[in-house]
Each structure stands twice: as structure tokens, then as C-alpha cells.
A and B are shown apart, each in its own frame.
Chain A
Amino acid sequence: MLGVPKPFLAPLLLTAGISLAAGETGRLGGSSETRFSESVEGRKLNRYFENWTDLSYEQGAYRLDVGYEAHLPPAPASRDTAGQGIYQRTFTFRKDGLTFKAGNYFSKLGNGLTLVAERNRDIGFNTNLDGFYGEYGSQAIEIKALLGSPRDAAGRRYPALQAGEFRYSAMKGFLGATFVTTRTTEDDNDYWGSAYFGVNGEHSNIQVEWAARRFAENHGLHRVAEDYGSVFPEGKAVYASGNLSLGKFSLFLEGRHYQDFNLFEGAIYNNPPAGIKEHVFSFPNNHQLVQNADNERGVHFSLDFPLREENTASFDYSKTVSINGDHDLYEEFHAQIDLDGSLPVTGVAAIGHQTDLESRNFNFILHTGLPLGERYALKAEWQHQHTTILLTDRMFYGDQFILGLERSPNLVLCVIAEASTDQLESSPLAYSQAKLWTGFQVNWNFLKHHHLTAFLGTRKKGKVCAGGICILKPAMQGVELALASHF
């Protein structure tokens, strides 16, 4: 199959007909997000305008979702996923554990090793499927079946995937399997799937998933696998994670082994766990290299424990190496204290060290909040990062300062300043004069249904990462507005 039909008017008319016949009325809801920016880059004026409007109509067991987007022109982050017009139309029926969807939908099978269809507007990522989806769920059994065309970064559709998942739960354990296939040529398919099991105890839990892929006979990677004489000539992946409570200590551990399992045929089909810490602050979150992780293995270890009163300490370590173990890809140490106790000042203090293929980074973070009366609070944040480029031994540092005043429940005013020697030439051991970017930001909730974020000033270029996927945002000098509304 090279495509699936696009039901739209039929479920709409069906919903309308049922509603009118039943004499009942439903519920209309929606949200809208608008982003606008105008900035200067040298003599060039950059401007973008984006809008996403999502409407939903719910009537009993039926729901209709319609999403509209406009990129006039698209933001740098959206450039590769820009579409115009109705980007989502979904009819959903949900009753007594049964769910049926027709149209665009998002889905995940297992732990994301075999199939993930998801979206993130901040990094311009939308891999929704277009087709049909069915699910039956009870406490003991969960069954999913889907037929859908995946979408690549440019919004183009690919031949439909046929996929399914079965999960059986009993007592404290569960086991299941996933299966995905898609046609690659006129007479052959790619197949991949996984099996998993897990146990959820009171003080601990564990889950393990094995996945394997079979390439079509004329697939280039099939010939490569044969040449290397792999035991599993096709791709394979293993992911495991678990939690353990030891008194006051809470331990989290995850490990992964991904080999030739990057499921990508123009469209990205999967997004397995990256096995590294997702940081709260921007500086340490700036060096995630993992994008649809493949041909690597690694571990991530995290230990949380309460300190006096409401304070919590945590320690994270992760290491990722190439699949053959011949070189390190990423290593991180991170320690953090969350101060939420009876002290008048709350906040976070963190220190960390990261090493990847291109650089070594040391991070220090201090975030504090001081309540001023019942409705006001003063916030201050300092992030520091010292970087050494491994190839050239060039060193530079960056600092970001944020000073904010909050007034509950409507208003936040912030001054943001960032200094860095990143863009200046310097000798290996000398610190050049830092360049400074400054800005002013307002966050304002108004008229109950609207939230406005306005930024005026300059901002340094840098990476923005989410879930292991990173995009590069250019420097800006101008104004940015974002308005989110709901009803």
C-alpha cells in the first residue's frame, strides 16, 4: 500500500448527524498559539510569524479535533517542518476501553524503540501518522493496531506503516510485544518488532525491551550486515530501566544497546530513550548529541535522597560509548541540591561536568527565590559554563544572569544578561573580553484565557534541545512575542 484514504467530511457529517438526531449538544474547546519575531542581523531584517490553532468538539463518546497552522514565514526552528493550512484532523471514538481514531494521530509502541510519532513545536518536530488507529485497554490486556503514513521533517508522507502492540498485565508484572512493517519496494517489506517485560513492585521496578529489525533483501544495510557477519544481520536494540528504593535513597538506572537500529527511511520512525539526563536549566542541556540514537551503548545512573526537611539532593552519571566500545561519545557527572525547606530562600544549586566528541564543559548553576509578602517574589539565577574545545584546546566561558520579579498570579518581569567569549579569537590560556547580550522579558496572564510572553533585546545563538533532538537557534536582536490562548 502506498497510501491511505483521508477521512474528513464523512466523520464530520456523521458526528453532526448523530448530534442532531440525539438532540444533545456537545462541548467546543480550543487553544491558539501565536509567535512573532522581528530582529536585526547586521543589515538584514528577519521576521517570522507562526500560528497554531487547535479546535475540538466533544459529544459523548465522539470527539473531532482540527488543527490549523500558518508559517508566514516560518521561524528558524520550524523551517524544516513548515506546512500551511489544516495540519491535523482527527475523529476519535472512545468508550468502555475501546478507542478508535481516523485522521492524524500520535502514537508510541513500547519504550519507543520500534515506533514513536510525536511533536514538539519548540524544535519544529512533528512526525504524526495519517490513517487509522484502534486500541482496546483493560487492566489485564492492552491491544493497539494502527495503519498510518508517517511524515518527514518537510511534511512529506511516506508509505503506510502497519503496526501493533499487545500487552498483558497480571499481578505486578507485565509482558508484551510490538510489531511494525512497511513496504520498501514493490515486492518486499521491512519488518521490525520488540518483546518486553516488566515488574512493578512497591519498592522497585524493572522493565526490559529487546527489539530487532529485518531489512528487505535489496536494502543496502542488509548487504552491509552480511559483509560483517553479524549474528543478528539486521538491526537490534536493547533497553532496560529500573528504580530501587533503599531506605531514604531512590536509585534509577537505565542501560541501552542500539546497533543498526536507526529506523529512518526519510521519515524517522522511532525515537528510543537517549539514556542521558534531561536538565532543568539551559546551559547543561546544550550539549545533547543524541538524535535518534544508534550504534551506541551506554548507562545512566541517578541517585536521589532527601536532606533535612524538604530539601533533596540528586546525583547523575551517564556514559555513552560507540557500539564497538572504541571511543567515548558522551560522559556526564551532575550533582544538584533542591532547597524547598523552611528556609526563607528556596532554590537550586547544581554543578556538573560534561564531555562529548567536540568539547569538555564545566557547569555551575545557582537559582534562588525570595518570597516578598504574600504575592510577590524575587528570582535570581546564575548559570556558568566553562568550555574547552578538545581539538584545538581553545577555552572560553559563558555566564547567564536572570533577575526577575513575580507578582502572583499574573505577572513576571525579568532582566536577562548573557556574557560569553565564545565568538572571539583567543589563545588557549587567555580569557578575552566577553561579549554581552541583554534583554527584558515579560510574562503576563490576562483576561483569564491568555498568556503573553514578550522579549525585547539581544540573545546569543545556541542550541535548543528537547528529548535528545537539538536545533540551532540563530542570534537575535529585536523583539519576540508569543501569545497562547485557550477556551
Chain B
Amino acid sequence: MPHPRVLNLSAKEHKVNPLLIIRGSILLAVICMLTPASPQAAGRSGSEGHAMAPDFTLRTMHGELFTLSQHLGKGPIVLNFWATWCLPCIAEMKSLKTIHDSRRDMGLQVLSLSVDDHKTAGKVRSHVKSRKIPFTILMDTQKQVFDAYHATSMPSLFLLDKDGRIVYRHMGYKNGDEKELIARLDALKD
């Protein structure tokens, strides 16, 4: 029996409403009209056909505010989404440390966004310290940035050029995956 305080919406919520489909179709049509067919006409989308990364503001592991757009223009940026309970994430972090050390001259920044929720976020600090992770750790405890980037699995990695365009993305991690990232970074250098 539904709780007496339940709003009387259940009947509508569990049926496919034709009106919603019509509205959805109008929505998609408007969006398609607004989105250019040619990347060159995209303006904000970048002349190379790569989309701009969504801007975000998060707190670091130490509580300071960090806004992505304020750190553009210095060099390429690697965003990697990870969590303390994700085993491939730990392996990827190790490869990123090696890449970060070897490409400091490029101005490479690695931003590690922890998607540990409020239940495991407290453990992030000791996890980072014990593994000597040198990157800026940002706390995405509500997965807002994870969802904004349409990441679908863990770990997820995005490479941004110095202007903030997403030039490469990769889901998951296996031994050897870093080679593609290195090649992309070297292409940006050239």
C-alpha cells in the first residue's frame, strides 16, 4: 500500500507518456538545429573539432576551491576519475606518476578527481599520502563532474589541451594503455 503521504504521481511515472515522447522529439530537433554539422562552425567547440571540456569547481583534498578554467593556458591537463575502492584506478595512478615526472617540461598538470562518496571520502587523504601520489586531488563526492563529462566507467581519463579542449578520452586501464596517452601528449607538444 502506498504511504498516505505519497503524491499521486505513480500512475503517470510508470507509463510511457506519448506527450513526453513528442516533447522529447521537439527537444532533440531543437538541439540538432543548434548544434552545427561542421565542427569548423562550432565556435566554442574548437577549430580542431574537439569539444571544450565542461568547466567545474571542486574542493581539493585539503579543502581549497579549484576551478578548471583558472588553470588553462599553462599546458596539457590530464583528468582522471578514480576511487580508493577501484583496483585498476590504483594501477593507472602509478603509470600517471611516471608520465607526470617525465613531462613536467610540457607544463603537464594531472588532476585526479576522486569519486569516493561521503562514505569513503575520508580515507582519500591517507590513501594518497601512503602511495605518494603527487597530483592535485579533487573531491567529486557527488559525481557531478563525472556525470558532466559523461564518463561511464572507472577509471576514466580525459586529456585536455592547454585551451581546455578534450583531445583524448579512455575508459578503464590495462597494462600498456599509457602508451596511447603518451603518444597524444607528444602530439600536443609538436
CA distance A28 to B30 in the complex (A): 11
Contact indicator A486/B150 (Cβ below 8 Å): yes
Contact with A along B115-148 (1 / 0, CB 8 A): 0011110110111011110000000011110011
Contact with A along B1-18 (1 / 0, CB 8 A): 011011101100111110
Contact indicator A377/B175 (Cβ below 8 Å): yes
CB of A205 within 8 Å of the partner chain: yes
Q: Which residues of B lie under 8 Å from residue A348 when comparing CB positions?
A: 87
Q: Which residues of B lie under 8 Å from residue A305 when comparing CB positions?
A: 130
CB of A457 within 8 Å of the partner chain: no
Contact indicator A108/B176 (Cβ below 8 Å): no
Given contacts A106-B142, A139-B64, A252-B123, contact A26 B7 (CB under 8 A): no
CB of B106 within 8 Å of the partner chain: no
Contact indicator A412/B174 (Cβ below 8 Å): yes
Contact indicator B3/A243 (Cβ below 8 Å): no
CB of A374 within 8 Å of the partner chain: yes
Given contacts A33-B152, A82-B14, A451-B153, contact A25 B122 (CB under 8 A): no
Given contacts A302-B126, A310-B94, contact A28 B31 (CB under 8 A): yes
Instruction: Among B21, B94, B143, B150, point to the contact of A56 (Cβ < 8 A).
Output: B150
On chain B, which size bracket covers the interface? 35 or more
Given contacts A278-B119, A340-B94, contact A451 B174 (CB under 8 A): no
Q: Which residues of A lie under 8 Å from residue B174 when comparing CB positions?
A: 377, 406-409, 412
CA distance A305 to B10 in the complex (A): 52
CB of B189 within 8 Å of the partner chain: no
CA distance A348 to B123 in the complex (A): 19
Contact indicator A367/B20 (Cβ below 8 Å): no
Q: Which residues of B lie under 8 Å from residue A155 when comparing CB positions?
A: 10, 13-14
CA distance A94 to B20 in the complex (A): 27
Given contacts A3-B7, A25-B43, A408-B179, contact A84 B14 (CB under 8 A): yes
CB of A57 within 8 Å of the partner chain: yes
Q: Which residues of B lie under 8 Å from residue A193 when comparing CB positions?
A: none
CA distance A279 to B83 in the complex (A): 11
Question: Which of A55, A245, A280, A468 has most chain B Cβ within 10 Å?
Answer: A280
Query: Shortest Cβ distance from A419 into chain B, in angstroms?
Result: 22
Query: Shortest Cβ distance from A59 into chain B, in angstroms?
Result: 8
Contact indicator B122/A486 (Cβ below 8 Å): no
Given contacts A26-B35, A280-B86, A409-B180, contact A371 B6 (CB under 8 A): no
Contact indicator A27/B45 (Cβ below 8 Å): yes
Contact indicator A24/B44 (Cβ below 8 Å): yes
Contact indicator B123/A156 (Cβ below 8 Å): no
CB of B57 within 8 Å of the partner chain: yes
Instruction: Among B36, B64, B148, point to the contact of A25 (Cβ < 8 A).
Output: B36
CB of B52 within 8 Å of the partner chain: yes
Contact with A along B40-75 (1 / 0, CB 8 A): 011111000001101101000011110000000000
Contact indicator B177/A409 (Cβ below 8 Å): yes
Given contacts A16-B34, A27-B44, A86-B24, contact A116 B118 (CB under 8 A): yes
Given contacts A252-B122, A280-B85, A406-B174, contact A157 B152 (CB under 8 A): no
Contact indicator B172/A154 (Cβ below 8 Å): no
Given contacts A241-B122, A451-B152, contact A26 B44 (CB under 8 A): yes
A-B contact pairs, 15 of them (CB 8 A): A27-B51, A84-B14, A108-B141, A152-B6, A156-B6, A159-B5, A243-B122, A266-B6, A273-B119, A371-B176, A409-B176, A445-B172, A467-B119, A485-B152, A486-B152
Q: Which residues of A contact B (CB under 8 A)?
A: 2-3, 8-9, 12, 16, 19-20, 24-31, 33, 54-60, 63, 66, 68, 82-86, 94, 97, 106-108, 111-112, 116, 118, 137-139, 149, 152, 154-159, 169, 172, 174, 184, 198, 200, 205, 207, 241-243, 245, 248, 250-252, 254, 265-266, 271, 273-274, 278-281, 302, 304-306, 310, 312, 314, 338, 340, 346, 348, 367, 369, 371, 374-377, 406-409, 412, 443, 445, 451, 467-468, 484-487
Q: Which 3 A-B pairs have the closest CB atoms?
A: A408-B176, A304-B130, A250-B126
Q: Which residues of B contact A (CB under 8 A)?
A: 2-3, 5-7, 9-10, 13-17, 20-21, 23-24, 27-28, 30-31, 34-36, 41-45, 51-52, 54-55, 57, 62-65, 84-87, 90-91, 94, 117-120, 122-123, 125-127, 129-132, 141-144, 147-148, 150-153, 169-172, 174-177, 179-180
Q: Using A138-B65, A252-B123, A265-B5 as known contacts, list a sample of 11 further A-B pairs with CB atoms less than 8 Å apart, ordered by residue number in A.
A: A3-B7, A28-B35, A33-B152, A84-B14, A85-B13, A97-B57, A243-B126, A279-B85, A484-B152, A486-B150, A486-B151
